[in-house]
Amino acid sequence: MKRLILLRHAEAAPKLSDDIDRVLSPRGREQMQAVARHLAAAGRKPDLALVSPAARTRETWSLAGLPDVPVLHDGRIYEASAETLLEVVQETGPDVACLVVVGHNPAFQELAHALVVGGEPKALARMHAGYPPASVAAIDLPVEEWSEVGPGGGRLAAFETPASLAPGRKA
């Protein structure tokens, strides 16, 4: 069983220069506080992080609170289609049981919808409502090798947004 975590970058600052150079907004940095707490409490630490080279995704990952996880920056994740993201995932080595990918929409939402056929009902409802900045999906995949991952068959174990992680909110 493999687990794929799709972490969309937190809210970015307005575009003032090249899109790839956009950093997080103050609100985006605040969003990552709740996401970091969620990732720490999730109980399953990723073995590898694949991160888009965009400044906002690199900053999102640095604020995720998992400094011991090895990181690879993959240019294919930036402006990727869902198909390209799937190819990146499928190339992951067999020693990785839990993979986190940090990137962008709309590809993350499209890939999550393509992979997931069932899961926790409240998480599914949140995911189907949208994939806002700083959202994180945990998808369990009943495969031995990442190369076997394809559309369908995945189970959504969790889907959280900054709003669902807000203090005092009931899941």
Q: For domain 2-96+120-160, which CATH number applies: 2.40.30.170, 1.10.10.10, 3.40.50.1240, 3.30.830.10?
A: 3.40.50.1240
Q: Which one is predicted more confidently, 168 or 127?
A: 127
The C-alpha atoms of residue 146 and residue 159 are separated, in whole angstroms, by 21
Please, are residues 35 and 160 in contact by the beta-carbon 8 Å criterion?
yes
- pLDDT-derived band at 168 (thresholds 50, 70, 90) equals low
Cα 137 to Cα 159: distance, rounded to the nearest angstrom: 4
pLDDT in tens, 131-164: 999 999 999 999 999 999 999 989 999 999 999 9
pLDDT at 167 over 80: no
The reported pLDDT for the residue numbered 169 is 57
- Give tens-digit pLDDT for 95-138: 999 999 999 999 999 999 999 999 989 999 999 999 999 999 99
- Domain borders along the chain are 2-96+120-160
pLDDT at 30: 95
pLDDT tens digits for range 17-73: 788 899 999 999 999 999 999 999 987 899 999 999 999 999 999 999 999 999 999
Q: Burial level of 75, CB count in 10 A (0-12/13-18/19+)?
A: exposed
pLDDT for 166 equals 83
Q: What is the pLDDT of residue 171?
A: 46
